[in-house]
Structure 1
Amino acid sequence: MKLGHFNGINLDNLIEELEAMGKSHKRELKSRLAILLMHLLRWKYQSTKLTNSWLETIREQRLQLLLQLEDSPSLKALLEEEFEQWYQYARKEAARETKLSLDTFPESCPFTREAVLDSDFLPK
């Protein structure tokens, strides 16, 4: 469709499509954040089992999160709003995957939002 030719647009369909795209972007952001947080927790609390694949997962999730935030800056607010909620999910998944007690992982995220997205940050 060329600029200026709006007569053939079904506005209801367009709105529905835009809303679906927005939901998809939000889901992807949440999923990538949860995976990243879970791997950072595993890195910090299961350091005897560190693997290159964990490091690659951390790098890939960070890259994709940063690209998504660059493409859709409005998602930054969602990241801020739901960070702790997704940390709680990641905490439970980290406990399940590592078979460590949930109490091993702090109730509040031990990493700042900035550190989570920082390509040079790895927990000690």
Structure 2
Amino acid sequence: MSTTTSKVRPGSNETSTAPARYEDDLYGWVEAQIALLKAGRLTEVDAENIAEELADAGHDQYDKLESALSVLMMHLLKWDHQATHRSRSWVNTVHEQRKRITRVLRKNPSLKSRIPEATEEGYEDARDNAAAETGIAKKLFPKVCPYDWSVITTRVIEFDDLRSPEE
């Protein structure tokens, strides 16, 4: 494995001998690895760190899914446990997080197999955060996620729900 590489700059026949070390300059290292890969110089790439970065990229996508689920479920908990505090802001947050979930899953369809895990982990954070934001004791929120995928993704949450039937 080489941590110092020669970088071939696009549009140039010159090769820079400036080191692009993974540990010191991630951006420079990425640019150097891209240039090496595009040039077919596979024996010179930093395979170990490329593999680590690719794994991190995959984890980042899972984290985006889990985070959006957590924020969404926190708002569902707040909606269900603090009806008098409901707001358009909560509705907007639910809709925004649903869009994020849809986008992450559209761009990363293999994450669909990890929805149960992401939901379970996201709910742990949602429960903690709902307790912190509402002042309601954590033990009063269900310990296990009370929402199935259909509720999480399609339950109608609208500000109009706040109006009484007489209006």
Normalised TM-score (structure 1): 0.84
Give the 5 Å matches for 1:3-82: 7-9=40-42, 10=45, 11-82=47-118
Cα distance in structure 2, aligned partners of 1:32 and 1:121? 17
Q: 8 Å contact 1:36–1:57 — kept in the other structure?
A: yes
- The more displaced of 33-42 and 7-16 is 7-16
1:96 equivalent in structure 2? 132
Q: CA deviation at 1:87?
A: 1.1
Q: Which runs of 5 or more residues in structure 1 are unaligned?
A: none
CA RMSD of aligned residues (A): 2.4
Cα distance in structure 2, aligned partners of 1:30 and 1:7? 37
Q: 8 Å contact 2:127–2:141 — kept in the other structure?
A: yes
> Number of matched residues?
122
Q: 8 Å contact 2:68–2:97 — kept in the other structure?
A: yes
Identity among equivalent pairs (%): 33
Q: 8 Å contact 1:39–1:57 — kept in the other structure?
A: yes
Q: 8 Å contact 2:62–2:118 — kept in the other structure?
A: no
Q: Which runs of 5 or more residues in structure 2 are unaligned?
A: 1-33, 162-167
Cα distance in structure 1, aligned partners of 2:82 and 2:49? 48
Q: CA deviation at 1:47?
A: 0.8
Segments of 4+ moved more than 2 angstroms: 8-17, 120-124
Deviation digits for residues 79-115 of structure 1 (CA, Å, limit 9, x no counterpart): 2123223212211210111001113211222211221
Q: 8 Å contact 2:123–2:145 — kept in the other structure?
A: yes
Normalised TM-score (structure 2): 0.64
Cα distance in structure 1, aligned partners of 2:94 and 2:61? 19
1:122 equivalent in structure 2? 157
Q: Flag the structure with larger Rg.
A: 2
Q: 8 Å contact 1:45–1:104 — kept in the other structure?
A: no
Cα distance in structure 1, aligned partners of 2:39 and 2:116? 36
**Structure ranking higher on relative contact order (CA contacts 8 Å, 6+ apart):** 1
